[in-house]
Amino acid sequence: MAEPQAWPTCDEDIKQFVVQLIELIRNELGNKLIGIYLHGSLAMGSYYRPKSDIDLIVVVDSKLEAGLAGTVGIAIASRAINRPTIGNVELSVITAEAAKQVPVPTPFELHYSSEWHDKILNNKVDYNKKQTDIDLSSHLMYVVQRGICLYGRPISNTFGTVKWQYFMEAVMNDLEWILEDEHVLETPFYSVLNICRVLQLLIENNQSVHSKDEGGEWGLRHLPQEYHQLIQQALDAYRSSDIVNEEQRKTGGRDWDHNKLLAFRNFARLKFKG
């Protein structure tokens, strides 16, 4: 099993990659930059090198002119090519106004992830078009509750209150995809751990956010015994130190019992309908 990592005690090559990315963003945005904030697994101490992404929110003082947004996007995508891990950067640039007011869906100036990589480098993104992301309210809740300021203004001075209702709507939106059709078979450990995490959110109902790691551990303590083997397999796959390629990240490079996955999906469907 791999040891979970946290900022700033993570592997030196990961730390240096993030530090260099911060410097690149500072150079590209100049005085427009208000702050850079880490959230997700690396901020919460549950980053596993073969599986996890690096999640960042960048806040700027006002909307980005399309040309600048394009330049920044290409710079980030070009740097991400040389990242030391299979997991990529997932980054959104938002305005100070959006960070304070957290409108839903939340507008963003620029987004980078593996799915956007080629579009950005091939100039296929229209930065003049207003773009919003319902998932940003979820990300901003993680920043506010468990995030780390890597550069700039403190979190408490930069971000407003994220309404729990909007956070849960974003969480449930992601869960809907997991529970649809047979998507649970495509991303088994991610799906199983996310189901556990969302059940934890709903049942505890204390307006505190959790990592996938924490969700899986909660599932082992609180969900029916018949699903424990599957939940433990999901945790083991997530925590494994085995080197995997991009395609294997979805399964952890392991074989999964489709009947057990579908049974857990059906259990979750009933729970969430109730």
112, 133, 161 - which closes a domain: 161
| Structural domain of 104 | 12-161
How many folded domains does the chain comprise? Answer: 2
Let me know whether 119 and 191 are in one domain: no
The runs of H, that is alpha helices, within 81-163 are: 96-101, 114-121, 136-146, 155-158
| pLDDT tens track, the chain, 274 positions | 888 999 999 999 999 999 999 999 999 999 999 999 999 999 999 999 999 999 999 999 999 999 999 999 999 999 999 999 999 999 999 999 999 999 999 999 999 999 999 999 999 999 999 999 999 999 999 999 999 999 999 999 999 999 999 999 999 998 999 999 999 999 999 999 999 999 999 999 999 999 999 999 999 999 999 999 999 999 999 999 988 888 888 898 899 999 999 999 999 999 987 5
Let me know whether 185 and 143 are in one domain: no
CATH of the domain at 112: 3.30.460.10
Let me know whether 83 and 211 are in one domain: no
Let me know whether 233 and 268 are in one domain: yes
Longest dimension (CA), the chain: 56
pTM for the predicted model, two decimal places:
0.96
- Considering the domain boundaries, does residue 140 fall inside one? yes
Let me know whether 138 and 197 are in one domain: no
CA angle in degrees (0–180, nearest 5) for 144-57-71: 165
CA dist., res. 200 & res. 218, Å (int): 7
- Considering the domain boundaries, does residue 247 fall inside one? yes
- The answer to whether residues 1 and 239 touch, using CB atoms and an 8 Å cutoff, is yes
